[in-house]
Amino acid sequence: MKILHIWSCAGVSCLIAKYMDSRHDTQSDVIITEKWDKIGLNDYRTTRIKSKPMFGLRGLAMARDYDVIHVHYHSIFIPFLKTLYKKPVIMHFHGSDVRHNWGARLKRIKKADCVVVSTPDLLVGSPPGISWIPNPVDTVKFTPVSWIPPKKSALTFSYGADEQAQAIAEHHDLDLDIIKDPIPYGLIPKLMSKYRFYIDVKRVLGRLLYPRDTLNKAGLEALAMGLKVISKDLSIREGLPEIHQPENVADSLFYTYELLMEEYR
């Protein structure tokens, strides 16, 4: 089975592709634009295109040679792919593309064979038949460390909610470092290993994310490294849930791919 991932959000496409190919008889590839991956999130079988127009054309052309097309974020591809090819097309939403905005996407996605979201909060307001595929975490890169960081040490990445992060840190009597500059992805595990807590707050389009049962990818990575993660409601979590193990995500998606391909045989 050959799978093409068009676009990648937070490196999720490459991580799915990597574990899919390692566990199943598949060949997975990813196509993105060069500018989109400034910190090196995508490091597995990735084609990088310089311009957005060429990315669009190249993605549509490449799809000809694959059995399953897995589109991320850019729902504009769906009607073109379904017009050009008779093969399964999955639409995968990751956040602001549909959060509180499903109505703007319904016309584009009606021909998709399957529609999934990456976090459960995105199911709010969704049409029937949408399912949640948990974000995977690279548990090879993000592993617990053998030493114990300072007791009150905490970090957060600046996502438009620095004041809220500082307030949370003060509530728990923590010493907070706010990381405002982009960090190469390969260095993030080393950075996280210096801290005991990660404060998971993020603001997008004026809204403070997430509800209690949802963490962003950095929060999940912190859990995988053994950090305690604090949400905006002040609750503290420990331990990466099994549903975010990359093997489990890959296996679940492979089953979905097989079911969709059966419908085209």
Q: 16 Cβ partners below 8 Å, 6+ apart?
A: 5, 28, 70, 136, 246, 249, 250, 253
pLDDT recorded at residue 213: 80
pLDDT recorded at residue 265: 87
Give a yes or no: residue 144 inside a domain.
no
Give a yes or no: residue 59 inside a domain.
yes
Query: Does residue 189 share a domain with residue 228?
Result: yes
| Bridge partners of residue 80, in order along the sequence | none
pLDDT recorded at residue 3: 98
pLDDT recorded at residue 28: 98
92-124 pLDDT, tens per residue?
999 988 998 999 999 999 999 999 999 999 999
pLDDT recorded at residue 141: 96
Range of the domain at 23: 2-136+245-262
Average pLDDT over residues 212-233: 94
Query: Does residue 129 share a domain with residue 35?
Result: yes
pLDDT recorded at residue 241: 97
User: What is the SS3 assignment for 157?
Assistant: strand
Query: Does residue 122 share a domain with residue 11?
Result: yes
- Measured distance CA(112)–CA(93) in Å, rounded: 12
Angle between helices 12-23 and 246-262 (to 10 degrees): 80
Q: 78 Cβ partners below 8 Å, 6+ apart?
A: 71, 89, 91, 108, 109, 111, 112
Average pLDDT over residues 165-191: 97
Query: Does residue 95 share a domain with residue 21?
Result: yes
Give a yes or no: residue 143 inside a domain.
no
Give a yes or no: residue 141 inside a domain.
no
pLDDT recorded at residue 142: 98
pLDDT recorded at residue 8: 97
4-15 pLDDT, tens per residue?
999 999 999 999
- Whose CA is closest to 114, among 127, 99, 101, 125? 127
Give a yes or no: residue 145 inside a domain.
no
Query: Does residue 8 share a domain with residue 91?
Result: yes
* Contact call for residues 89 and 116 (beta carbons, < 8 A): no
Residue 58 backbone class (left: φ over 0; alpha: ψ -120 to 50; beta: rest) = alpha
Task: Tell whether the model's pLDDT for residue 27 goes beyond 90.
Answer: yes
Query: Does residue 106 share a domain with residue 6?
Result: yes
- Measured distance CA(211)–CA(213) in Å, rounded: 6
Tell me the CATH number at 49. 3.40.50.2000
Task: Tell whether the model's pLDDT for residue 175 goes beyond 80.
Answer: yes
Tell me the CATH number at 200. 3.40.50
Query: Does residue 253 share a domain with residue 130?
Result: yes
Query: Does residue 106 share a domain with residue 20?
Result: yes
Confidence of residue 164 (pLDDT cuts 50, 70, 90): very high
- Exposed, middle or buried: residue 265 (CB in 10 Å: 0-12, 13-18, 19+)? exposed
Task: Tell whether the model's pLDDT for residue 54 goes beyond 80.
Answer: yes
Residues of the chain with pLDDT > 90: what percent? Answer: 94
**H-helix or E-strand spanning residue 48:** strand 46-49
Give a yes or no: residue 142 inside a domain.
no
Average pLDDT over residues 149-168: 97
- Exposed, middle or buried: residue 224 (CB in 10 Å: 0-12, 13-18, 19+)? buried
Q: What is the pTM of this model?
A: 0.95
pLDDT recorded at residue 119: 95
Give a yes or no: residue 146 inside a domain.
no
pLDDT recorded at residue 124: 92
- Exposed, middle or buried: residue 230 (CB in 10 Å: 0-12, 13-18, 19+)? buried
Query: Does residue 66 share a domain with residue 81?
Result: yes
* Contact call for residues 33 and 55 (beta carbons, < 8 A): yes
Give a yes or no: residue 54 inside a domain.
yes
55-97 pLDDT, tens per residue?
999 999 999 999 999 999 999 999 999 999 999 999 999 998 8
- Higher-pLDDT residue of 5 and 205 is 5
Task: Tell whether the model's pLDDT for residue 212 goes beyond 80.
Answer: no
* Contact call for residues 195 and 172 (beta carbons, < 8 A): no
pLDDT recorded at residue 211: 84
Query: Does residue 167 share a domain with residue 72?
Result: no
pLDDT recorded at residue 180: 96
Query: Does residue 118 share a domain with residue 217?
Result: no
DSSP letters for 58-100: HHHHHGGG-SEEEEES-TTHHHHHHHH--S-EEEEE-STTTTT
Average pLDDT over residues 168-179: 98
Count of structural domains within the chain: 2
Query: Does residue 182 share a domain with residue 116?
Result: no
Q: Cα 259–263–265 angle (5° rounding)?
A: 110
The average confidence (pLDDT) of the chain is 96
